[in-house]
Amino acid sequence: MFFVVDTDDVTNTECFSKNIKLLKLYNFCLIVQHKNLEEELCFSCNKANNKKLFNDFYKVQSADKFKSKFCRDKGIDLTLSNNDFNFKNFWSRSGDFSDWLKKNGISASIECNYKV
């Protein structure tokens, strides 16, 4: 089982910790999203910043417009390909999430032996 963790919005740590403890019985992997989706796409497409990402993908300036177009993109595979998307880089950085887990008393490994 794979779980993507949106690390900029883990608000109910008690529930999160309880769920991790329940999942320890199974073979699971936590995939950590670094900051937000836009940051992950910047890293995976080798874009310098969000402004470059927004412009190169959809010729827009704001995060809201980018997200709206991204969610409605019926040809997302082509859009990603045109922007040199590297899937191996996507969700590949744990950032400070290991420290966050320890700080909140959550015992879980984010090192997976396999990737999606």
Is residue 98 in some structural domain? yes
pLDDT at 64: 96
pLDDT at 51: 98
Distance CA 36, CA 5 (A): 10
Domain range for 31 is 2-103
Picking from 84, 32, 31, the residue whose alpha carbon sits closest to that of residue 53 is 84
Distance CA 110, CA 102 (A): 12
The one-letter code for the residue type at 112 is C
DSSP 68-91: HHHHH-TTHHHHHHHTT--GGGTT
Cβ atoms of 83 and 43 within 8 Å: the answer is no
Domain count, the chain: 1
Is residue 108 in some structural domain? no
Q: What is the pLDDT of residues 73-112, one digit of tens each?
A: 999 999 999 999 999 998 887 666 777 777 777 776 666 6
Q: What is the pLDDT of residues 36-72, one digit of tens each?
A: 899 999 999 999 999 999 999 999 999 999 999 999 9
Is residue 40 in some structural domain? yes
